[in-house]
Each structure stands twice: as C-alpha cells, then as structure tokens.
Amino acid sequence: MIVKVEIPVTRPGAQPRLDTVADEVPVAFEYNGIAHTVMLASPADLEDFALGFSLSEGIVQRRSDVYAIEVTQGAEGITLHLEIASAAFANLKQRRRSMAGRTGCGLCGVDSLAQVTRDLAPVYADDFPLAALYEGIRLLPMQQLLQQATGAAHAACRVGSDGSISHVREDVGRHNALDKTLGALARDSAPAAGALLITSRASFEMVQKAAALRYGILAAVSAPTAAAVRLADKLGLTLVGFLRDRRCTIYSHPARLQGNIH
C-alpha cells in the first residue's frame, strides 16, 4: 500500500517542485463483524497494527485470541476485519463504543472515566544496560525510512540488551507506531524482554500499552507526562525520557538500568 505521495509545493523564492508527504488514511477496526473504532494511520504493517492495538487496548488478552485478520481496501479507507475468541468479543461488547479517532488516539473505545485506567498487574524485567538504550537510539534513525522521506512519522522498536534494535515500525501517529511494534513482536511470539523505544513523548496510554504486553522498560526521546510517571511507578515500569546524545532522564524505577549512577 502507498505510504507516501508526491505533491506539488511552492517555496518562496524557488520554482514549484514535487515534495514527498506521508499518507494517512482512515483505518476501521471491526471485531466479529461489529465496528469498533476508526483511526487515522499510515497504511503499512496493518496486520501488526490490528494485533498490537487489540492486545494493548485489552480487547484480547493473548495472541491466540485472534483467529484471523483480513485487510480490505474500500473507497473511503481501509477496514481491518478481526475474528476473535467469543469470550473476548463478549467482553468487548460490554464496553463497545464506535468512535472516529484522531491520528493515533490513545483511549479509543473508552466511554467512561472508570475505563481509562485498566487493572494491570505489575511488570517485571531483568536489569538492562543503559548503554544499550543509547545504542538503540543511535541506530533507530537509520531505519526510519518514512521519516527520512517525509519528516512526518513516529517510530517504535524493541532494543536488545546488546543495543540491537528490531521490529521497527513507523506511523504518522505515535500510538499507532507503538501498536505496530507490539503487534509485530506478538506475531513473532517474541518474549517481553528488552526495552521499548519510541520517538515521541511518553504519555499515560503509551505506558499502559507497554505494561499491557508485560514490557518493563519504556524509553522516549521526548518528555513523559506526570500521569505517565505515576502509572509507571505504580506498575513497576522503568520510564526513561529525553533519550538522546547519550543522555537521558529516568523517571521511575532507575535501579533496573545498569550503568545508571543512583
């Protein structure tokens, strides 16, 4: 599917030219034939998006609860048709709300204040080298092909303890990018080890998504919100912000990061 387009632009003092722009399209989620929500997203890695969103939002509890994913292109956008386990679908119907999401909405399908914070168990993770996070953020821009072409995409990936990165996914929406990475990891049956890295701020729902899939470290290139810090502290998740140029700020559970002076 097309994720970037060429459009004519005008720059003061220069001749008109073509510029590369990231595409975003409406992506509708349907579960067992029932519409759930509509997102604006980059039309790539959509099977990853479907699974990652379903897991991180608590619609399904495990990969095996998703029996099938079908992607269809229509005149008005893309529809992700998911067939899920009957128990998961019964739970979804209790909270179901069809809504049009803005780019990467973080609380899709939530219609009451009581549903904002989910009942998640504390996460656990092995100690992790701080140097690996520094290496991960150094490597990630080289694989952000959509960002390089358009300047309009966020990315997410997993970082290993040796600093290697994997499951890099991009999207115009920061939540979408994380969901795609989480979905890719789940599709590969990857264990919840290492750290998650995001090229955005770390908000409450980003922490909640990471914890929902049992990841114990979330590192962002920008700032966290206070709600994100409180949730990370409560859930035992190590939250890192301002990760850049071999510097960072650790907001919760710093002892997990080896090489951190504390």
Catalogue the active-site residues: 105
DSSP secondary structure string for all residues of 51-76 = HHHHHHTTS-SSGGGEEEEEEEE-SS
Longest dimension (CA), the chain: 62
Q: How far apart are CA 176 and CA 170, in angstroms?
A: 8
Torsion of CA 108, 109, 115, 120, to 10 degrees: -70
Distances 186 to 52, 82, 128, 149 between C-alpha atoms, Å: 7, 15, 21, 28
The region that residue 174 occupies, defined by phi over 0 for left and psi between -120 and 50 for alpha, beta otherwise, is alpha
Q: How far apart are CA 196 and CA 211, in angstroms?
A: 11
User: 3-state class of 32 per DSSP?
Assistant: coil
Q: Which residues pair with 236 in a beta bridge?
A: none
Distances 93 to 59, 61, 84, 100 between C-alpha atoms, Å: 10, 15, 12, 17
Alpha carbon 82 to its chain centroid, in Å, reads: 19
Percent helix, strand, coil in the chain (nearest 5)? Answer: 30, 35, 35
